Amino acid sequence: MASTDSFRIECSAHGGASAIRVAGELDSAGCGRLAELFEQTIAAGNVAELVIDLSQLSFIDSAGLRAVIIIERIAQAQGVQLILVPPPEPLLDLLRITGLATRLTLASHADEARPDQFAERIELDLPCDLSAPGIARAEVRAAIQRTHAAGDPFTAVLLTSEIVTNAVRHSANEGREPIAMRIVCSDDRLQVEVIDPGPGFDPANVSPEPTDLGGRGLMVVDRSASRWGTRRMPSADGERFCVWFELETGPGQSSAIALDG
């Protein structure tokens, strides 16, 4: 995961250990997402050790530091061992100045702080334009490579592209608001969610007529995914619409595309 100015957050879990990796700029805009993912991770239970990996941060301000302090206090109160993979210099100096470097358990490398073969959870925003499907395909390919997921990567990438393309085409905000994407990938399962402010559709009607120009993307999803569905989600500025799919990726699983009958 490259360190860029855009905020990125990923979550991994394996047994009683979990890791949250943050990249880019951690300021007041990203603190809420970090806190939310932390709360979800703790709420899932059975977390004995939590790694906060800041090794790919490019910026952190007082709001970001405050979020780390709050996370540390909650983890301590709940008996969860918190390990911080420190950010690069000179951001590490800021942790020293504020006393966080001595308060937290620091790891020298993320790979030393967490086991391999985590199930990865990735959350990111996609631009609501024609570049979004390509970005989404790259993210899914990278997640599959990192987790060494078996199964059919072509189908996973294709279904991701279809639901992101659908979100771009039918978004109600004319590109003003990004599309949210979530990926959960392990060695036996892949789940992708795409959330946009569009009006949504009836998932029971996904079979176009032979003369129809559109609608075949969702037909591919319907006939190729292990499971898929939709849901409407309330938000502060109106309702949002989520399309998701799952693929079983364990040994022997195949998601061959079937378009006939």
- Residue 158 binned pLDDT confidence (cut-offs 50, 70, 90): very high
pLDDT tens digits for range 112-147: 444 444 567 788 899 999 999 999 999 999 888 877
Fold classified for 125-248: Heat Shock Protein 90 (3.30.565)
Is there a common fold for 8-113 and 125-248?
no
Q: Which helix (H) or strand (E) covers residue 26, if one does?
A: strand 17-26
Q: Report yes or no on whether pTM surpasses 0.75.
A: no
Q: What superfamily would CATH give domain 8-113?
A: STAS domain (3.30.750.24)
Query: Degrees (nearest 5) of the Cα angle 23, 28, 32?
Result: 80
pLDDT tens digits for range 216-239: 578 888 889 998 888 877 666 667
From residue 227, give the alpha-carbon distance in Å to each of 6, 34, 190, 222, 224: 32, 29, 11, 8, 9
- Residue 212 binned pLDDT confidence (cut-offs 50, 70, 90): very low
Q: What is the DSSP letter of 47?
A: -
Give residue 245's identity as a one-letter amino acid code.
F
Residue ranges per structural domain of the chain: 8-113, 125-248
pLDDT tens digits for range 25-69: 999 888 989 998 898 888 877 788 888 989 889 999 989 999 998
From residue 213, give the alpha-carbon distance in Å to each of 102, 111, 207, 259: 62, 49, 12, 16
Specify the higher pLDDT residue, 225 or 212.
Answer: 225
